[in-house]
Amino acid sequence: MIAVTTYLLRRLFALVPVMLVVVTIVFLLIHLIPGDPVAVILGPEANAQQIEDARRELGLDRPLHAQLVRFYARLLRGDLGRSYFLDRPVTQALWERAEPTLVLMFSGLFVAVLIGVPSGIAAGAYQGSAWDRLLMMLALLGVCVPGFWLSLNFIYLFSVRLGWLPVAGYASIFQDPVAAARYMLLPAVSLGFSQSALIARIARSCMIEVLRQDYIRTARAKGLAERSVIYLHAFRNALVPVVTVIGITMAILIGGAVVTEIVFNIPGLGRLIISAILRRDYPVVQGVVLITAAAYMLINLLVDVVYAFIDPRIRYV
């Protein structure tokens, strides 16, 4: 237990310099690309004088290094600044979008795992069979088909033609779980389908590799049923890389399934960062990247911890 705690603390401390580098790079990148939030706020008919006045008001006329120092100072106080467009602190804007993003992430992940893991295991277990070829063709399709195309076709079929589900929108699961499920079904399936492809392919190759191991041959030699060989011996050992992929998928989805959120009009982090980049809402871009980077690292840490539960041979040092 002490080893786990020490390991976790060491990993958490290691996050600090990484986060610092990430936020600095993002700060510089977003400020160095051309574009001006003030010109966007003031609208197309604003003149240069109005733009200058507003830049001064927002502190954008200061040298970049002064703005960076101010950003660090705020960050140390836990203040991510204030959005130029949303008229509220960035932390509040992020908090408001946490629920839609997390709900979308977990539902997308649920669909991805539900499709990806059994398909991959089945394809691997019956390598070369018709099932294997069919499932891998579907997986290839999942990787190749653009997310927006799939989403738009789902909308056309299930919402416009059949009228079974709403086109777009979001309802809180805490306020109206039934409406929330109706709104989330199409986004979760279209997101989960493309993510399941990667999981299926990794699960298949891991399964094939494990099934070639000596202990599997031994298990078969001692007369175990094929089902027991696959589910009791091979499956668990094939899981470690699959869990890694699931972790990566989860981290990607935290950053925002941008296209899905835009097409299905889900007010999450992906939509927030896209509009923030387009409008050069610097504090919001920095805030979302900071949260996404932290989520990436924490999920990686979580995945490392989970390894030990799946495979007792793995030890923390």
Partner 1 sequence: MRPRTIPWTAFTLTLVILCLAGLAPEAAAQKKGGVLKVGNLGEPPTLDAHWTTATITEVLAQHIYEGLYTLDAKSQPIPMLAEGMPAVSKDGLAYTFKLRPGIKFHNGKEMTSADVVASLNRWGAQSTYGKTLYARVAEVRAVDKLTVEMTLKEKTAIVLISLAVPNNAAAIYPKEIVDKFKPAEKATEWIGTGPFKLVEWKPDRHIKMVRFDDYQPRKEAATGYGGRKVVYVNELLWIPVPDAATRVAQMETGELDFADDLDLNAYERLKSSPGVQAIVAKPYYWLVAVFNKKEGLMTNQKLRQAWQAALDMEPIMKNVAGGHTDLYRMDSSLAFVENAPWHTKLSGLPWNEHNKDKVRRLLKEAGYKGEPIRFMTTQEYKWMYDFALLSKQQLEDAGFTIDLQVVDWATLVKRRNNSKEYDVFTTGMGNFYDPTHHIYLGPNWPGWTDDEELNRLLTELAREGDYKKRFALWEQVTRTFYDRVPVARYGDLFGLRAMRGHVKGFDTSLMRPRFHNVWLDK
Residues within the interface to partner 1 (CB under 8 A)? 33-37, 39-51, 53-54, 56-57, 85-88, 93, 96-97, 152, 155-156, 159-160, 163, 166-170, 262-265, 267, 271-272, 275, 278-280
Structure tokens at 301: 């840490």
Q: How far is the CB of 37 from partner 1 (least distance, A)?
A: 7
Nearer to partner 1, 168 or 310 (CB): 168
Classify residue 108 by burial, with Cβ atoms within 10 Å: 0-12, 13-18, 19+.
Answer: buried
Task: Work out how close the CB of 108 gets to partner 1 at its nearest, in angstroms, rounded to a whole number.
Answer: 18
- Closer residue to partner 1, CB minimum distance, 11 or 182: 182
The nearest distance, CB 41 to partner 1, in angstroms, is 4
Sign of CA dihedral 16, 17, 22, 26: positive
Q: How far is the CB of 36 from partner 1 (least distance, A)?
A: 4
Q: Quote the DSSP letter at residue 129.
A: S
* Residue 40 or 68 with smaller CB distance to partner 1: 40
* Burial (CB count <10 Å: 0-12, 13-18, 19+), residue 25: exposed
When the beta carbons of 112 and 266 are compared against partner 1, the nearer one is 266
List, as own/partner pairs, every contact residues 53-58 make where C-beta atoms lie below 8 angstroms and the sequence separation is at least 24, other chains included.
Answer: 58/84
CB of 31 to partner 1, least distance (A): 12
Cβ atoms within 10 Å of 140's Cβ, excluding its own: 13
In the bound complex, what is the minimum distance in angstroms from residue 158's beta carbon to partner 1? 10
Listing DSSP states for 48-106 in one string gives HHHHHHHHHHHTTTS-HHHHHHHHHHHHHTT---B-TTTSSBHHHHHHHHHHHHHHHHH
Measured from the CB atom, is 93 or 234 closer to partner 1?
A: 93
Nearer to partner 1, 159 or 205 (CB): 159
Q: Which two tokens stand for residue 269?
A: 């982090």
